[in-house]
Structure 1
Amino acid sequence: MSRYCLKCGKAKKACICSWIKDINTDIELIILQHPTEVKRAKGTAKILLLSLANSQCFVGENFSNHSDLNLLLEDENAETFVLFPSENAQLVSPKVCNKLDLYRKVRIILLDGTWKKAFKMYQLSENLHPLPCLSLPKTMSSNYKIRKAPSENSLSTVEAGYQVLKILQPEQDFEPLLDAFDAMIEFYINQLPDGVFQNNYSSER
């Protein structure tokens, strides 16, 4: 028998499926995942994919010639944004949706990887460069206590997705995303020997 859950892909003892709740949203999330994140046990993109029917994931580093992604980008009935803090990025706000034609869909592309890898993915993927970029307020802080981050406001993929959706659709309840995330964090902390978390993680945040 497999040691891994067939649905979430994580080890059965670390299965996140029981924490997942289905959430409806009109906004489509496209996750571009770096290959090194695919089998990372502490990765959070899977929470978004399992919770949001209106989401999908493509794996790679250079998506310039990615046929499925390019097909989506050619869709004239959708407006696509990249969550990436470029020089011309606009702050995420409900105006992003309000300015769009009522018959157009909104797609948000998230880059799933460390900041260094996400930066490289964006630089290599020339098809992303013409798309408008969005950024989140720098005052936001992360609860990703089990992975090292370059700064307090470095959000995990699920946290970034949650914040974008919450801002663009404030009438919708996206809290179950964070509930699943927090439960996963606590599970991994509880697996650590006494004192390991405090010594290796908590002092860095």
Structure 2
Amino acid sequence: MPHAVSLLRAARLTRSAKPFLARGGFKQERCAGCRLLPSHCMCALRPSVPTRVGVCLLMADIEPLKPSNTGWLVADVVADTFAFGWARTETDPALLALLRDPQWQPYVVFPGQYAAPERVVHSVAPSQPSDKHKRPLFILLDGTWAEARKMFSRSPYLAALPVLSLEPEQISQYKLRRSRREDHFCTSEVAALCMQLAGEELAGQTLEAYLAVFTHHYLRAKHQQPVEWDGDAHRRLRELTGVAVQPPPLSL
């Protein structure tokens, strides 16, 4: 069944006047399930991790169309992932309904220096199977840094929500797009950090491993190299999920 980001991508494509061509990417047929070349498909590796945490992706206009987008990976792993396109002048009513849903405690994940101090938090209550605890809903602003800042400052429906400011010790391992700063993390890395804050260690570790596998497949396809199915990235994902597959019969 298509997940939230896949559905948003399909809706965005219906509005496109011409085909979307990823800048610097490979211009060949892609798998509809993982956006990679069929020879490098990783759909059989898709993990399923039970978690009570939710993720809400606010995505810049063409972000769902980019094959390097990692919000897609979050939706693969976290069942309760919601995805909405962002626009300054209009807001999806389903997004507003989600933010009002009493089962969720929304947090806007963004650097604290851009928010009023009274809104900023650095921790969340662990996710627990109890009616007394609302489920954490992490709102991730998925786009370039400039787009994310615009979404944060020009979305009135976010203004009253707490801002979760992360303080990771590591640097980003994301290799599919360039960034001038090592403290800028891709969407799936941010989601992994949020999972760990909420006590969902397995989900966080799985997202980290899944990103490493996706990065390997993406770069190997880009450079017309075969997948190393027995490499460290695949081994780590197998350890966490128990999922092991043979390479597909297709070849470059």
After superposition, the C-alpha distances for 1:133-177 in whole angstroms (9 at most, x for unaligned) are 001105331001221113111110000000110121155443221
Structure 2: distance between partners of 1:173 and 1:65: 30
Pick which of 21-30 and 180-189 moved more: 180-189
Offset at residue 77 of structure 1 (A): 3.3
- Name the structure 1 match of 2:8: none
Offset at residue 5 of structure 1 (A): 2.4
- Name the structure 2 match of 1:32: 58
Structure 2: distance between partners of 1:161 and 1:22: 15
Identity of aligned residues (%): 24
Aligned pairs for 1:51-90 (under 5 A) are 51-62=77-88, 65-85=91-111, 86-87=114-115, 88=117, 90=120
After superposition, the C-alpha distances for 1:44-97 in whole angstroms (9 at most, x for unaligned) are 110010111111211223386320110112223321110012333535324476
Which of 149, 154, 157 is the equivalent residue of 1:127?
Answer: 157
- Name the structure 2 match of 1:152: 182
**1:150 is aligned with what amino acid?**
R
Structure 2: distance between partners of 1:169 and 1:142: 21
1:192 aligns with 2:223: yes
Distance 1:39 1:14, change over 3 A: farther
Structure 2: distance between partners of 1:116 and 1:154: 12
**2:223 is aligned with what amino acid?**
L
Distance 1:66 1:6, change over 3 A: same
SS class of match (1:38): helix
Offset at residue 40 of structure 1 (A): 0.9
Distance 1:64 1:77, change over 3 A: farther
Assess if the C-alpha contact under 8 Å between 1:63 and 1:127 holds in 2. Answer: no
1:142 aligns with 2:172: yes
Offset at residue 9 of structure 1 (A): 4.3
Assess if the C-alpha contact under 8 Å between 1:81 and 1:131 holds in 2. Answer: yes
Which of 113, 125, 148 is the equivalent residue of 2:143?
Answer: 113
Structure 2: distance between partners of 1:176 and 1:96: 18
Offset at residue 178 of structure 1 (A): 1.4
Assess if the C-alpha contact under 8 Å between 1:165 and 1:174 holds in 2. Answer: yes
SS class of match (2:65): coil
Structure 2: distance between partners of 1:140 and 1:26: 26
SS class of match (2:62): helix
1:42 aligns with 2:68: yes
Offset at residue 42 of structure 1 (A): 1.0
* Length-normalised TM-score, structure 2: 0.67
The alignment yields a C-alpha RMSD, in angstroms, of 2.7
Distance 1:182 1:80, change over 3 A: same
Distance 1:141 1:63, change over 3 A: farther
Structure 2: distance between partners of 1:12 and 1:193: 12
Any unmatched runs of 5+ in structure 2? 1-27, 226-252
